[in-house]
Structure 1
């Protein structure tokens, strides 16, 4: 099977490319560095020609709300149009668990818009919704730091390793399209503040983590159902404690 991975040189994409290649598929990684720009459409038609499956793990270079929305609308629209013209049989995209429950987020409404475009795009599809990555816990802490303390809502949180995200995306790419969304999350559900506290402690970061019910996550007030899966989901294999220990070696 020929599988083209857009965003194939990034954190998730590079792992997806490796997994699919190891499974014996013909895999092509595409990104602006390969001369393909999904936002302008440059090179997209040629990139999808002959593909059985297209995987989209691209992301906006700017997280300003208007920029993110413009990115996903343009990028997703160009990909779907080219795929439909080329007869691609399966579009796989990475999204975020709880995106539709975060209307005040500065980022997630753009993922909701992307999902709607995919559903209406005329190409059989699978959307893989994942929870937050272990690799981004430090950045989350930085964004929530005020006066030397990290303010995090003490709500349910179920982050996961990027390796488990990549495995879920790769598996979706070789399975039949579901024409809907599947969800994946880490194997452990803990408190958001607890996870951040563990991540900082593992790096020797002594910032105080304050369990602040009023704290927002990229603009969104949190509850126990905001960023965790509700209903069936695919659990990852890597536990946060094991991942943190591996990073410290």
Structure 2
């Protein structure tokens, strides 16, 4: 099966391409660097020509109020091209609880991305994942100040990028869901405790201070970013830290 992976050179995309190829599919990565511009539309029809499935893993360059325009334009271009080229299955990667945090510009933008896909003519699947383990360092850096890192106690359920890629590849190789598949890591942590665990594992002397309003996740209320009923991935956070340190 020929599968066009848009954003196929990134953290998730490159792994999705590799997994699909290992399974015997003709998976082709496309990105701005390969001549596919999802904003201008340049190269999009060429990328989708002959594809039976398109997987969209592109991301907004910012998390602010400019992100909705990125997802609106990119999805309008990709959905229209998919319809023109007879693509039979459109897959996007989204976020668990994305429609439950309207306070965040980026989450509203990702919800818009889902809505554009649902309203379009192409059969679709949406894979929603919890927060990537690979992003924990970035989350810590957002609120770091000298010897202190401020984090809220927001519950999160971290998942390894490799497990996300495996789920996306499985969905892409199957029939359209016509809905959402949630995937999540096997453990739930309060974000401040996850920060302490991460720093301790690295013998990092900084102190994590619990601050309910700190950083992007300070806007999240309740446990909307977790889902114990999701398809649970196998990788535990401590094991992932050990492998990263090895």
The TM-score with structure 1 as length reference comes to 0.94
Matched residue, 2:43:
43
Moved over 6 A (4+): none
Is contact 1:202-1:248 (8 Å) kept?
A: no
Counterpart mapping for 1:189-200 below 5 A: 189-200=188-199
1:152 CA drift (Å): 1.5
Is contact 2:68-2:105 (8 Å) kept?
A: no
Counterpart mapping for 1:219-234 below 5 A: 220-229=218-227, 232-234=229-231
1:106, 1:197 → 2: CA distance?
28
Equivalenced residue count is 246
RMSD value, Cα: 1.4
1:90 CA drift (Å): 0.3
1:24, 1:158 → 2: CA distance?
32
Alignment partner of 1:24 is 2:33: no
Is contact 1:138-1:200 (8 Å) kept?
A: no
- Structure 1: tracts of 5 or more residues without a match: none
1:154 CA drift (Å): 1.4
Counterpart mapping for 1:165-180 below 5 A: 165-180=164-179
Matched residue, 1:113:
112
Question: Any idea what SS the aligned residue of 2:225 has?
Answer: coil
The TM-score with structure 2 as length reference comes to 0.95
Question: Any idea what SS the aligned residue of 2:187 has?
Answer: coil
2:46, 2:200 → 1: CA distance?
48
Is contact 1:185-1:228 (8 Å) kept?
A: yes
1:146 CA drift (Å): 4.0
- From 216, 233, 236, the equivalent of 1:236 is 233
